[in-house]
Amino acid sequence: MIHSFLETKDAGFFSSLFFMINHYLYAKINKHRFRLNTENWLFKAENGWTDYFLPIDFDPMVPSLIPLTPKEIHGHAKILANYPMILYRTIIPEIYRLNSTVLAEIEKAQLAFAQKQENSPLRIQQKDSLPCLAALEYGALFIRRGDKLIEESILISAEHYLTYLVEIYPNVQTVFVQTDDYNVFLELLTFQEKTPQLQHIQLYTLCKPHLKGGMVITKHYYDYCRSPAFETEIQKIHLPQNRDYLQAHQENLKAFVPLEMQTPAEIREHTTDMLVGIDFLLKSKVCVTDYLSNVTRFIKFAHPNIDAVYDVLRRTNQLDMHIVGCPAYGMNFYLPPKSPEKKGLVF
């Protein structure tokens, strides 16, 4: 029996997901039963996993009077075996199955998105006539800032993402922007305004305008941003653009309440909004992001067309899916070269 526990409060959604997938793979490959425990999950609103997903029915949860042994309990950061990345991609559709509540929110967002496309031949008259979002053909950008800039991500101007997308997908008419920082969307609008060849592109985001600076998901980083030692600690960040951005937006970061301090309704809204945005990315014709964080690696792995997801840092869509390891520890696999040669990206 493999019991996977999503219990840590100091890790993001997709970090925990990748460790859980590792446990699931181990159980499947070794013919063990599998149970998932999300009682103390950071993203739990009411029931845990089923707040957003269909149950993982590899082994339906059956009450047991037999206490678990330590060898049967596997939590965050526990890797049971190392597998090629391609196995994670293969198994994701078996695990990542959104429930009807989240799918209804996606449908509402799709309707609004379709109606925003001024030049689209599709005219949505009734809700039940909504076309498949994939049929709308749009490009997408994923740009995460906030607490990711403390350790994981590299701050790159939003315009680099857009120009790379246009280079790959020159006929793009509509671009969906998934971000936790509304400044990203404002940067893109400003860049578009001064770049005539991009002014025909319609930019669209679900990011709320008050989210500036980005999100702080865990209480650990919330305390970090509010610490009296913030100015000292931030000097340890070796990338000057990350350091400067965090300093400039400290007040915005301090204002964001981490999930651990949110109400169940707020947690549900936050997580559902995230899943809706991810769904838009997974239905895009071409998506430009990076491979530095767990969420971006998930987008790469889960997109129906793995070659449609590009890395803005290495400027490629190539990734060796036969690398053996866990995507949650992917930094060693995906860090960009120290001296990127193309398009003047200097870090």
Q: Which residue in 138, 186, 180 sits closest to 287, CA to CA? A: 138
pLDDT at position 45 over 90: yes
The pLDDT value given to residue 216: 67
What are the E-state strand segments in the chain? 2-5, 34-37, 73-74, 83-84, 139-143, 174-179, 202-205, 286-289, 309-311, 324-325
Domain layout of the chain by residue ranges: 2-95, 100-334
Q: Which residues have C-beta within 8 Å of that of residue 2, sequence separation ≥ 6?
A: 23, 24, 26, 27, 32, 33, 34, 35, 72, 74, 80
The pTM assigned to this predicted structure is 0.85
Half-sphere exposure of 225 (CA within 13 A, CB side): 30
Predicted confidence at residue 134, as pLDDT, reads: 45
Q: What is the reported pLDDT for 97?
A: 97
CB-CB contact of 216 with 222 (8 Å)? yes
Neighbouring-strand partners of residue 83: 325
The residues, ordered by sequence, that sit 6+ positions from 158 with a Cβ below 8 Å of its Cβ are 141, 143, 184, 185, 187, 188, 191
69 pLDDT higher than 90: no
Between 9 and 70, whose confidence is greater? 9
Tell me which of 199 and 250 has the higher pLDDT. 199
For the cut 50, the answer to whether the pLDDT of residue 347 exceeds it is: no
Q: How far apart are CA 102 and CA 118, in angstroms?
A: 27
Whether residue 118 is predicted with pLDDT greater than 70 in this model: the reply is: no
Q: Which has the higher per-residue pLDDT, 229 or 71?
A: 229
Averaged pLDDT score across all residues of the chain: 83
Report the alpha-carbon angle 52-89-141, nearest 5: 70
In this predicted structure, the answer to whether residue 34 has a pLDDT above a threshold of 80 is yes
288: which 2 tokens? 């430009």
Report pLDDT digits (tens) over 271-328.
999 999 999 999 999 999 998 889 999 999 999 999 999 999 999 999 888 889 899 8
Residue 127 pLDDT more than 80?
A: no
Predicted confidence at residue 123, as pLDDT, reads: 40
Least confident of 194-203, 207-216, 338-347: 338-347
48: left (phi over 0), alpha (psi -120 to 50) or beta: left
